[in-house]
Amino acid sequence: MLVKTYCAAVNGMEVTPVTVEVSIRKGVHFHLVGLPDTAVKESYERIRAALNNVNIKLPQNDITVNLSPADIQKSGSGYDLPITIAMLAANDNVATDKLQHYMIMAELGLDGRLCPIRGALPIAMKAKELGFHGIILPKENVKEAAVVQGIDVYGMGNILEVMRFLNGELGFEPTTIDVKTEFFDHQQHFEFDFADVKGQQSVKRALEVAAAGGHNIILVGPPGSGKSMMAKCLPSILPPLSIEESLETTQIYSVAGKLGKDVSLISKRPFRSPHHTISSVAIVGGGTTPQPGEISLAHNGVLYADELPEFRRDVLEVLRQPLEDRRITVSRVKYSIDYPSSFMFVASMNPCPCGYHNDPTHHCTCSPGQIQRYMHKISGPLMDRIDLQIELQALGIDDLINAPKGEPSAMIRERVVRARKIQEERFRGLKGIHCNAQMKPAQIRKFAQLDEHSTGMLKMAMERLKLSARAYDRIIKVARTIADLDGKQNIEVTHIAEAVGYRNLDRSDWVE
């Protein structure tokens, strides 16, 4: 007897429907074909033990299982349940009339329970796209999959429940979620707020500009100056995620298996802060079984690199292309996968090895040569991709005690949102461009034209600071953002002056 069940293979962000074909005939052998990896090959042992422990006899026949299409690699343990159901249906333990209407995915525990899988959300989206009535998943995955409207999502606890459901027993209801309530109720709560940051008004202004235009920024200052805390406050002033952005981000976390328990949608922009010992593969993604890297987990959010010069040179250099293209293509011998990676890059570092260069309250023990070598750990092309370079000083004890409470993030966020709305209107109809930082040269010429006075000031700054052509474009982008924050249609001299002031590390006297 031949029976088919339906599931899916997740490779990167791409979901491919998979048909599990089971044929039973006289004999005693078990054959599993269709490019299964080790985890899939081991499914037979899990299935046999699980069925034995729930008092169901495995068919004592020659069983052939084909995972079609057979030329696509199948990885992971999520094929346990569809294979089991197909085998039981071929042995007349499960009715076959519902099998064609449902996509089934779950790992089997040895006691028959259903264990969670990765990629439940994109699988549910593919099931809806293909016209399936519903999808059967472990209970732990049901909330993320139920985000998809227009398809029945059933969360099951064990193999017996799945069998009863497919055999037509009553008492099973699909899981439903109020997406808007689930999404908007969690958007306003942040652990870090700029109201808790004392002083540092110029740095807060720079971070506001960066948030308003989606610009990359680096903070350079001595230990204790508040670099890390202000970076962690940044998500609290970024515009709220849209539903579309949330779905895209949640898919990445679903594929990576990093969605928290009972989380249906990621409602706040991600903030990723990898340790400086991270490898280049972990930062961009890939591996034997391809997984999203940190730059993709930071998609639509912030990637924060604390103590930037401590990162390995090869790790920093792989960031250069994603910072420009906002996508990463991971190519290996057996696969080539695209991951989205549109993120704000925020970095912080000490100004020198001892940490106290240009600090009026401490004596720096580093020579100019040591400082130059320290700074040269970061390549010029990578630094050119950072729009704002901000130097800050640690506050004295009197400033810490007497400083008034800072402006709350909610008020800063209102200004950022107003500026972003101006940009959304400006770039309406342009695919892949939503904020000033994403402008290409053609958009810069169209939307960020300079008058004679502004051009003259920028030319003078370029000559004095010996800036690259990439830095030239980035100054104009930042000036365009400052003008948006001021509500001005045209870029003015003051906007150019402020934007140039955010290129602190380009000053020729910085290491003197």
Encode 150-174: b = buried (16+ Cβ within 10 Å), e = exposed: ebbbbbbebbebbbebbeeeeeeee
Q: Is 265 helix (H, G, I), strand (E, B) or coil?
A: coil
**Residue 361: its pLDDT value, please?**
80
For the chain, the helix, strand and coil percentages under 3-state DSSP, each to the nearest 5: 40, 20, 40
- 294/284 Cα distance (integer angstroms): 6
Q: Looking at the DSSP assignment, which residues form a beta bridge with residue 455?
A: none
Tokens (6 digits) for 349: 């570092």
Backbone φ/ψ region at 105: left (φ over 0), alpha (ψ -120 to 50), beta: beta
Question: How far apart, in Å, are the Cα atoms of 337 and each of 207, 270, 284, 303, 315?
Answer: 33, 22, 11, 21, 19
CB 491 within 8 A of CB 480: yes
* Residue reference for tokens 């034997």: 288
Q: Name the residue with tokens 């402006």.
A: 407
50 close to 111: Cβ distance less than 8 angstroms: yes
CA–CA separation, 211 and 248 (whole Å): 20
Whether this model's pTM surpasses 0.85 = yes
pLDDT of residue 376: 84
Q: Distance (Å, rounded) from C-alpha 316 to C-alpha 243?
A: 31
**pLDDT of res. 272:** 95
Please give the pLDDT value at position 243: 85
Residue 54: the pLDDT is 93
The whole-number pLDDT of residue 407 equals: 87
Residue-wise burial string across 82-119, b where 16 or more C-beta atoms lie within 10 A, e elsewhere: bbbbbbbbbbebbebebbeebbbbbbbbeebbbbbbbb
436-442 long-range contacts, CB within 8 A, separation 24+:
436/213, 436/214, 436/215, 436/477, 436/478, 436/480, 436/481, 436/484, 437/213, 437/214, 437/215, 437/216, 437/344, 437/387, 437/477, 437/481, 438/214, 438/326, 438/342, 439/477, 439/480, 441/473
Hey, is 348 helix, strand or coil? strand
Tell me how far the alpha carbon of residue 44 is from its chain's centroid: 35
Buried b (16+ CB within 10 A) or exposed e, 55-68: ebebbebebbbbbe
Burial 129-142 (b: 16+ CB within 10 A, else e): eeebebbbbbbbbb
Q: For residue 125, what pLDDT is reported?
A: 94
Query: Would you say 151 and 134 are in contact if contact means Cβ atoms under 8 Å apart?
Result: yes
Asked if 31 contacts 63 with a C-beta cutoff of 8 angstroms, the reply is yes
Residue corresponding to tokens 């709350």:
408
Q: For residues 71 and 34, give the distance between their C-alpha atoms in angstroms, rounded to a whole number.
A: 7
What letter does residue 199 receive in the DSSP assignment?
A: S
For 136, half-sphere exposure in the C-beta direction (CA atoms, 13 angstrom radius) is: 30
Task: Compute the distance between CA of residue 296 and CA of residue 303 in angstroms, rounded to an integer.
Answer: 9
Specify whether the CB–CB gap between 330 and 436 falls below 8 A. no
- Pure H helices in 186-319: 201-213, 227-233, 243-256, 280-284, 294-297, 313-317
| Cα within 13 Å of Cα(375), Cβ side | 21
Q: Specify the 3-state DSSP secondary structure of 347.
A: strand
Distance CA 469, CA 441 (A): 11
Burial of 497 (0-12, 13-18, 19+ CB in 10 A): middle
Give the per-residue pLDDT at 217.
95
Q: What is the pLDDT along the chain (512 residues), one digit of tens a residue?
A: 799 999 999 988 889 999 999 999 887 788 999 999 999 999 999 999 999 999 998 878 889 999 999 988 898 899 999 999 999 999 889 999 999 999 999 999 999 999 999 999 999 999 999 999 999 999 999 988 998 989 999 999 999 999 999 999 878 899 888 777 777 766 677 888 888 888 788 899 999 999 999 999 999 988 888 888 999 999 999 999 888 888 899 999 999 988 877 778 888 899 999 999 999 999 998 877 788 999 999 999 999 999 999 999 999 999 988 988 888 888 877 778 888 999 999 999 998 898 888 888 888 888 888 888 888 888 888 888 899 999 888 777 766 667 777 789 999 999 999 999 999 999 998 888 889 999 988 999 999 999 889 999 999 888 887 777 778 888 999 999 999 999 999 999 999 999 998 987 766 445 44
Q: What is the pLDDT of residue 507?
A: 60
pLDDT at 371: 86
CA dist., res. 388 & res. 346, Å (int)? 10
Query: What are the structure tokens assigned to 36, written together?
Result: 């299964």
